[in-house]
């Protein structure tokens, strides 16, 4: 059981529309439908009649609405009470950060924040490798902040009226290759390249996956994808090994 499944179900119960409920929960419709099915599998009963249009709750679904509402109410009340008792509300900051940013940007930035707003106790949630899950950590309240790259070509699927953002810096993306003995790149990236070259790619679910596909694919010469991963440090190691 996951808390977000209950929140998804109540959003659907309020709208009776998968598309509207998914927008309200800031996830794709396919991910939202998958989570409703996971909840139904856990409960052991069909909660939504998908054969009707618009969708409607089954008898089991109607009975489950007050259960979900009361469960969430008690969970959130207990969490607030415990956090207040521990004094964690005032001094703990929970963040989700993309893997690369967690060790290239985060340490020095947090030090500067701590000097002006501290003392703070920080909790860093690991990058899941999926932008959808990273965004969900913010939407679901598991993190107070999300430290991520951003680009107009990569939709964030966050309600701008609910979530504020600040630009903290900028970076340039450059192609890299291991060098040959004479210092030239083993895999040259040129617009007039005639032969295919080996290419290391980011996973589709990661931030850079859709960015490279949508922004650069039309500008790249013919290539042969030989490996994909979600973390830059892993792709760097593959490049240094000559891939």
State residue 192's pLDDT score: 59
Q: Are residues 17 and 74 in the same domain?
A: yes
Tell me the average pLDDT across 14-24: 89
Q: Are residues 48 and 120 in the same domain?
A: no
Q: Are residues 232 and 200 in the same domain?
A: yes
Looking at 85, 116, 133, the residue that finishes a domain is 85
State residue 90's pLDDT score: 59
Q: Are residues 110 and 184 in the same domain?
A: no
What CA–CA distance (Å, rounded) separates 116 from 112?
A: 7
Establish if 153 belongs to a structural domain. Answer: no
State residue 120's pLDDT score: 84
CATH of residue 116: 3.40.190.10
**How far is CA 56 from each of CA 46, 65, 238, rounded to the nearest angstrom?**
11, 13, 50
Q: Are residues 64 and 20 in the same domain?
A: yes
Q: Which residue has the tokens 């899941």?
A: 128
Q: What is the tally of structural domains in the chain?
A: 3
Pairing between β-strand 48-49 and β-strand 56-57 as defined by DSSP bridges:
antiparallel
Q: Are residues 187 and 212 in the same domain?
A: yes
Q: Are residues 78 and 103 in the same domain?
A: no
State residue 224's pLDDT score: 77
pLDDT tens profile 83-103 = 666 655 557 888 999 988 998
Q: In terms of pTM, does the model score above 0.75? A: no
State residue 112's pLDDT score: 92
State residue 160's pLDDT score: 64
Establish if 167 belongs to a structural domain. Answer: no
Is the model's pLDDT at 10 over the cut of 90?
yes
DSSP assignments along 157-186, one per residue: ---TTT----------------B-TTSSBS
CB contact burial 151-165 (16+ within 10 A = b; e otherwise): eeebebbeeeeeeee
pLDDT tens profile 133-188 = 888 888 877 888 999 998 887 777 776 667 888 999 998 888 888 888 999 888 77
Domain that holds residue 132: 88-147
State residue 84's pLDDT score: 67
Q: Which residue has the tokens 């977000």?
A: 4
Tell me the average pLDDT across 73-79: 86
Q: Are residues 202 and 176 in the same domain?
A: yes
State residue 45's pLDDT score: 94
State residue 87's pLDDT score: 56
């Amino acid at each position: 059981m996951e808390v977000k499944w209950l929140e998804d179900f109540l959003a659907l119960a309020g709208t009776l529309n998968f598309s509207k409920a998914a927008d309200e929960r800031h996830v794709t419709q396919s991910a939202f439908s998958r989570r409703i099915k996971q909840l139904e599998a856990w409960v052991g009963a069909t909660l939504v009649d998908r054969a009707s249009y618009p969708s409607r709750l089954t008898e089991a679904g109607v009975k489950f609405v007050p259960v979900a509402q009361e469960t969430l109410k008690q969970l959130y009340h207990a969490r607030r009470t415990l956090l207040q008792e521990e004094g964690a509300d005032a001094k703990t900051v929970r963040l989700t950060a993309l893997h690369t940013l967690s060790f290239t940007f985060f340490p020095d930035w947090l030090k500067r924040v701590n000097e002006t707003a501290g003392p703070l106790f920080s909790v860093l949630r690991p990058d899941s490798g999926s932008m959808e899950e990273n965004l969900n950590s913010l939407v679901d309240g598991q993190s107070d902040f999300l430290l991520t790259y951003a680009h107009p070509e990569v939709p964030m699927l966050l309600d701008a009226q609910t979530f504020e953002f600040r630009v903290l810096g900028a970076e340039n993306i450059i192609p890299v290759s291991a060098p040959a003995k004479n210092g030239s790149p083993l895999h040259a990236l040129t617009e007039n390249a005639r032969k295919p070259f080996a290419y290391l790619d980011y996973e589709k679910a990661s931030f850079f996956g859709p960015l490279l596909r949508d922004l650069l694919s039309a500008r790249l010469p013919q290539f042969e994808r030989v490996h994909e991963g979600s973390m830059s440090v892993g792709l760097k190691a593959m490049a240094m090994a000559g891939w």
